[in-house]
Amino acid sequence: MTIQTIATTPFAGQRPGTSGLRKKVTEFQQPGYLENFVEAIFLTLGNFQGRTLVLGGDGRYFNREAIQTILRMAAAHGVGRVLVGRGGILSTPAVSCVIRKRAALGGIVLSASHNPGGPDGDFGIKYNIDNGGPAPEKITDAIYEHTRTLTSYRISDAGPVDLDKIGSIRLEDMEVEVIDSVSDYAELMAGLFDFDAIRALFQRGFTMRFDGMYAVSGPYAKAIIEGMLGAPAGTVVNAEPLEDFGGHHPDPNPVNAADLIALMDGPDAPDFGAASDGDGDRNMIVGRKLAVSPSDSLAIIAANATVAPGYRDGIKGIARSMPTSQAADRVAAALGVSCFETPTGWKYFGNLLDAGLASLCGEESYGTGSMHIREKDGVWAVLFWLNLIAATGKSVNELVQEHWARFGRNYYSRHDYEAVDAGAASAMMDDLRGKLASLAGQTLGDFRVQLADDFTYTDPVDNSVSTRQGVRIIMTDGSRIVLRLSGTGTEGATVRVYLERYEADASRHNLDTQQALAPLIAIAEQVSALKARTGREQPSVVT
């Protein structure tokens, strides 16, 4: 084995987005493309001598090949030890868990999250720091700057590592330890939740369906829900991670998890339904004929946190992304704790969690989590709901209705316009920003605008400032319209429109969501001219 220095030239467009670098598989397969980005990570982080790195991914196409390349590059850069999940599999929450438990310097996550997989699908890579969370902007910006100036990268010419055999081998002077992908994470979950109560729930005949969507959470759900908690075999379906996710879009929402929704809407529905996404960090909670809004799920978990042993002493605060509904704010006020509003991207929660300012976090894009790791966590959210059901004896539907009766209902929806022309989308947002100063005080339909701005966030821990994080139009009654461009797609631009209206009257808590939001939908079109700008008459996905 020898360490080689390979000449290279920069690739354009390797700036990480909100969740790392995501591109088509075919881009990553270009000679030197992955190597350049990984070299930039190592150059940014400096001395790895004697330090431990965690490595794994969601099993999508190109995962195994990428891991072999990264292992050889890690050896060339003097990394002391790499912990890699068996088969190259580690969910994003599990990577965070292992980093924290094993006191690693950080980890490399190979995933494009909920994006489609396969040879023609997407691939992604991101770096997580020593707290287990996504790298902050100062690190991702430094990585990007290195990608622009690279002239070479270092790599060992060693042969491939057997990723399917648990144990340790040497690669150059580096130890590679293939670990069980599930065990550390499962141990953590057992310490947070009342597994005895959940086991008793299943023993009483409680039924559920967990849809793994042929993605990474399947093995975790099988091991914990069927194995440790005793749910009947077959409770977890689509549990084997496939390189192309079975040809499906592994995004747990009512559109992409249509089979689960159909089951829960049918006459033979189980008591509880749930799904998780490509890399295991998102979740969808479903009752009978009821898909729970992610914003409501966060609020309900916060309002009932003390039912779970890991949260029995209460929570210190809640953090939510700005586009997420204000349902959690009402819970925080009732509990007498702070509710922080951050930009979209889980990395913004890290400082709040590390400083002990927040215990629970959530994003409207089906992401919920807590201080137990520094990523959102799909299986964790499902286990919390199981613990809540076991502790109260109430169904999902009862818990949701009781929450609305106590706090009121925040009608909420997100409209996604995917793969639109990037230039047209940017021009639309620029024009909208130009209108903001004149919108305040205007009457739009039945609403009066109280505030219109482009969200700026100042981190209360390190005072870092993030600007241009989404246009907000806030009405005097608290209703909101938010528009922003997503950073998670790989084709064109994705325009997201978020709509929210609060309803205190319990007699009006069961309206159709889109009908309840129709006046705001019309106003959003009026001020943005989105249809004319994008050429799209309807959103691609409504959640």
CA distance 134 to 122: 19
pLDDT tens-digit map of 471-504: 999 999 999 999 999 865 567 889 999 999 999 9
The residue among 260, 258, 223, 261 whose CA lies nearest residue 239 is 223
Distances (CA, A) of 22 to 34, 59, 150, 487: 11, 15, 20, 9
The residue among 290, 231, 274, 238 whose CA lies nearest residue 379 is 274
The pLDDT, as a whole number, for residue 17 is: 84
Once rounded to an integer, what is the mean pLDDT over residues 347-363? 96
CB-CB contact of 188 with 105 (8 Å): no
Q: 63: Cβ–Cβ under 8 A, 6 or more apart, which residues? A: 57, 88, 110, 243
pLDDT tens-digit map of 493-538: 899 999 999 999 999 999 999 999 999 999 999 999 999 988 998 9
Once rounded to an integer, what is the mean pLDDT over residues 164-186? 97
pLDDT tens-digit map of 27-63: 999 999 999 999 999 999 988 888 999 999 999 999 9
The strand pairing partners of 151, in sequence order, are none
Fold of 185-407: Alpha-D-Glucose-1,6-Bisphosphate; Chain A, domain 3 (3.40.120)
Which CATH entry fits the domain spanning 409-542: 3.40.50.1580, 3.30.310.50, 3.30.2130.10, 1.10.4190.10?
A: 3.30.310.50
CA distance 209 to 214: 14
The pLDDT, as a whole number, for residue 112 is: 93
CB-CB contact of 93 with 137 (8 Å): no
Buried b (16+ CB within 10 A) or exposed e, 428-467: bbeebeeebeebeeeebeebebbebebbebebeeeeeeee
CB-CB contact of 139 with 44 (8 Å): yes
pTM of the model: 0.95
Residues of the chain with CATH 3.40.120.10: 3-180, 185-407
Residue 276 among the catalytic residues = no
Q: Catalytic residue among 91, 96, 111, 113, which?
A: 113
Assign 383 a pLDDT band (cuts: 50, 70, 90).
very high
The pLDDT, as a whole number, for residue 48 is: 82
The strand pairing partners of 83, in sequence order, are 54, 177
The pLDDT, as a whole number, for residue 114 is: 87
Quick one: CATH architecture of 3-180?
Answer: 3-Layer(aba) Sandwich (3.40)
**Poorest-confidence range of 87-96, 149-158, 240-249, 486-495?**
486-495
**Percentage of the chain with pLDDT > 90?**
93
The pLDDT, as a whole number, for residue 90 is: 98
Residues of the chain with CATH 3.30.310.50: 409-542
The pLDDT, as a whole number, for residue 413 is: 96
CB-CB contact of 345 with 459 (8 Å): no
pLDDT beyond 90 at 407: yes
The pLDDT, as a whole number, for residue 49 is: 84
Q: What is the DSSP letter of 135?
A: P
Q: What is the DSSP letter of 540?
A: S
CB-CB contact of 268 with 235 (8 Å): no
Once rounded to an integer, what is the mean pLDDT over residues 415-425? 92
Quote the tokens at residue 477: 């009654």
**Percentage of the chain with pLDDT > 70?**
99
